[in-house]
Amino acid sequence: MSFLDSRLNQRRNGRAGRWLPAAVLAVLAAVLAVAPALAGEWKNRWSLKVGGGLGLLGWGDVETLKNSFHQQVRDFAGAFAIATTGTCENPRLGWQGEVELRVDVSPRLGFGLAGGRFSRSGETVLKADWPPFLTSLHIWGQGSTITPVTLSAYWRFLSGVRSGAYIRAGAGLASAIWKYKIRDEETIDFASWEQVEGTARDKGLLVQAGMGYEIRIAKRLTAFVEARGQICSLDGWRTDQINSTDASSENISETLWLVERAPSGGRAAEALLIASSLPPDARPYGSARPVRLDFSGGVFLAGIRLELGRRPSSSSPQ
């Protein structure tokens, strides 16, 4: 990949990141504009929705990097007939929380503006004992947080006086933070070490759709459960990274790249994380591209919805 190709791809992605959310919001605004015609004599009902639960999302290149790190440590130690021990974690499951302001503009149609947060973390720790007394410790740790702000449309069906089901769909802007640490320690007292530690940020479009079920538990209070899928893939990560050893330290702020090298000369395939303003040179047996993190998957929430203001009389349509 040339530098020019990289810049063109970044410009295309940038334009898509700006226009896609705008297009989705324009469609939702158009639906909102014609909502009064659908509502008839209905008066808008505002409510506050609060929920939490679990998300099962992808990882993208994080999984590739973690697996490569694990394999490289094992292969290097195995070449000297040294066994490694430790844990290898990279959980797809994390905690999700969300607050949404919702307005029902007809008995069936509603809109919601939501802010949420999803976070997860994991750490791979490998240890090798080298005779007669040398010990090495190898750590790959990372955690990610994504904070989306979305506008969604709701459509109620199977609606009763106290309960009802609904489908929802929407889109918005997601801001994400990825923190990572790669550390190698050597000698019996860990006096010699090397470490790469960084905090990377990116943002882009998030699209989601799902369905839920509500049941009224008090005059203005409704409980809900909801399941939805989402699509979000980010590949424009900028990092503030510290490269340090027991003797020196260097701070850099660059773009993150993934360098993948095919197997050669008896060596297994490798995946390397590189911070650079230009695409790294992966020749003669590899390729380089921007790091991509995937936040696509399923989200499962439960919570309550509190109606705001005066509730219409019982004779009003439900």
* Confidence at residue 107, expressed as pLDDT on a 0 to 100 scale: 86
Question: Sign of the CA dihedral 203, 57, 69, 188?
Answer: positive
Residue 164: band (very low, low, confident or very high) from pLDDT cuts 50, 70, 90: very high
Q: Which residues contact 190 (CB under 8 A, 6 or more apart)?
A: 135, 137
Residue at 316 is within a domain: no
User: Rounded to 5 degrees, what are φ and ψ at 67?
Assistant: -65, -40
Residue 81 domain-assigned (yes or no) = yes
SS3 162: coil
Segment 24-51, tens digit of pLDDT:
556 556 555 555 555 455 577 899 999 9
DSSP string, 39-59: HTT---EEEEEEEEEEEEE--
In a domain, 215, yes or no: yes
**Closest alpha carbon to 144 in 106, 118, 126, 107:** 118
How much is the pLDDT for 8? 39
Report if pTM > 0.85: no
* CA 41/CA 55 separation, integer angstroms: 39
**Which pLDDT does position 284 carry in this prediction?**
65
What's the pLDDT at 265?
64
Host H or E run for residue 174: strand 163-186
Judged by average pLDDT, the poorest of 47-56, 63-72, 157-166, 307-316 is 307-316
Q: What is the pLDDT of residue 161?
A: 75
Distance CA 282, CA 273 (A): 12
pLDDT band at 201 (very low <50, low <70, confident <90, very high): very high
Residue 275 CA to residue 198 CA, distance in Å, equals 10
> Residue 314: inside a domain, yes or no?
no
Q: Using CA atoms, how far apart are residues 265 and 143, in angstroms rounded to an integer? A: 34
Report the C-alpha gap between 38 and 122 in whole angstroms.
Answer: 49
Mean per-residue pLDDT for 154-160? 85
The pLDDT score that the predictor gives to residue 269 is 75
Does 67 or 153 have the greater pLDDT score?
A: 153
Q: Quick one: pLDDT at residue 213?
A: 96
Q: Residue 16: what pLDDT?
A: 44
Decide: 206 and 171 in contact? Cβ < 8 Å: yes
Rounded distance, CA 167 to CA 209, Å?
8
Q: Hey, which residues does 286 pair with through a beta bridge?
A: 261
Look at residue 25 in the predicted model and tell me its pLDDT.
58
Confidence of residue 1 (pLDDT cuts 50, 70, 90): very low
Residue 128 has pLDDT above 60, yes or no: yes
Phi and psi, residue 8, nearest 5°: -65, -40
Domain span at 138: 3-307
312 in any annotated domain: no
Position 317 in a domain? no
Distance CA 206, CA 199 (A): 21
CATH number at residue 17: 2.40.160.20
Per-residue pLDDT of 84-102, as tens digits, reads 888 777 678 899 999 999 9
Q: Is residue 136 part of a domain?
A: yes
**Neighbour count for residue 22 (Cβ, 10 Å):** 10
Predicted confidence (pLDDT) at residue 178 exceeds the cutoff of 60:
yes
Total domain count, the chain: 1
Task: Give the model confidence (pLDDT) of 212-264 as tens digits.
Answer: 999 999 989 999 999 999 999 999 999 999 999 988 899 999 999 999 887 76
| Length of the chain, in residues | 318
* Region 178-196 average pLDDT: 84
Let me know if residue 51 belongs to a domain: yes
